[in-house]
């Protein structure tokens, strides 16, 4: 078993954070995991991405040409990554920041108005967690309890007060996508 997720967007959208939540969750499930970030000039130009590979055996490459899931938090990321999703895989589109539809028909496209949903919870910074909740509800790469523990671990440095609302955001993303 191996699955790969690329999360891409602007710096500040919590792209690297989401990847870390997944990495911690994989650790709790005693799986192998790699989290590989963009650290180049593109990051300094405002865009960021990371690749999370989760496997039950020793992981070879920390990046793959055709990941099973790609999360695009903005329009440039959709344009760059749509063609790379593995057939039958998942493309998660943050429709709050993306003004076009996906063109692929051989993949699962999950459209999430994450900022609007986050505002319903009173804090638009929760948009990324809502996205992760929705992706995992469909792709089931990780157990929900592991992701919640992953959130707890990732928010442990002086951000503990944000834990409960983030848990709610993850549930909200999952609930939203099941009604679509």
Partner 1 sequence: MARELWKGNEAFAEAAVRAGLQAYFGYPITPQTEALEYLSARMPELGRAFLQAESELGAINMVYGAACTGARVMTSTSSPGTSLMMEGLSYIAATEVPMVLVDVVRGGPGLGTIQPSQGDYNQIVHGGGHGDYHCIVLAPSTVQEAVDQVYEIFDLAEKYRSIGVILLDGTIGQMIEPAEMPPMREIRKEIPEWAVRGGTGSNKRVLTSVHLVPEDMEVLDLRLIKKWQEVEKNEVRFTEYYMDDAKIAVVGFGTAGRIALSAVRTARALGIPVGLIRPISLSPFPYQAIKEAAAQVDHILVVEMNSGMMLEDVMKVVKDSTNVEFYGRMGGIMPFPDEILSEIQRIASGTTPSDIHPRDRWLKRMESVVDF
- In the complex, the residues that contact partner 1 under the rule CB under 8 A are 20, 23-24, 27, 32-37, 39-41, 58-66
The tokens for 83 are 């063609």
Q: Among residues 12, 30, 1, 10, which one has the least CA distance to residue 72?
A: 10
Compute the distance between CA of residue 47 and CA of residue 152 in angstroms, rounded to an integer.
26
Closest to partner 1 by CB, 40 or 122: 40
Closest to partner 1 by CB, 86 or 109: 86
Q: Which residues contact 77 (CB under 8 A, 6 or more apart)?
A: 8, 9, 47, 49
State in angstroms the smallest separation of the CB of 26 from partner 1: 8
Closest to partner 1 by CB, 71 or 117: 71
State in angstroms the smallest separation of the CB of 38 from partner 1: 9
State in angstroms the smallest separation of the CB of 116 from partner 1: 31
Closest to partner 1 by CB, 86 or 165: 86
**SS percent in the chain: helix, strand, coil, step 5:** 45, 20, 35
State in angstroms the smallest separation of the CB of 154 from partner 1: 10
Compute the distance between CA of residue 155 and CA of residue 128 in angstroms, rounded to an integer.
14
């Amino acid at each position: 078993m191996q699955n790969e997720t690329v999360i891409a967007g602007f710096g500040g959208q919590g792209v690297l954070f989401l990847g870390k939540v997944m990495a911690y969750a994989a650790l709790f499930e005693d799986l192998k995991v790699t989290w590989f970030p963009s650290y180049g000039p593109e990051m300094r130009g405002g865009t960021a991405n990371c690749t999370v590979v989760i496997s039950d055996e020793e992981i070879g490459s920390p990046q793959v040409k055709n990941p099973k899931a790609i999360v695009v938090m903005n329009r440039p990321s959709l344009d760059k990554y749509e063609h790379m999703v593995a057939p039958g895989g998942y493309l998660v589109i943050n429709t709050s920041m993306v003004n076009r539809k996906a063109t692929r028909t051989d993949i699962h496209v999950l459209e999430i108005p994450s900022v609007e949903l986050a505002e319903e919870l009173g804090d638009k910074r929760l948009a990324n967690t809502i996205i992760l909740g929705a992706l995992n509800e469909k792709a089931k790469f990780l157990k929900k309890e592991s992701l919640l523990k992953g959130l707890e671990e990732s928010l442990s440095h002086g951000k503990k007060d944000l834990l409960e609302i983030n848990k709610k955001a993850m549930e909200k993303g999952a609930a939203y996508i099941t009604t679509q």
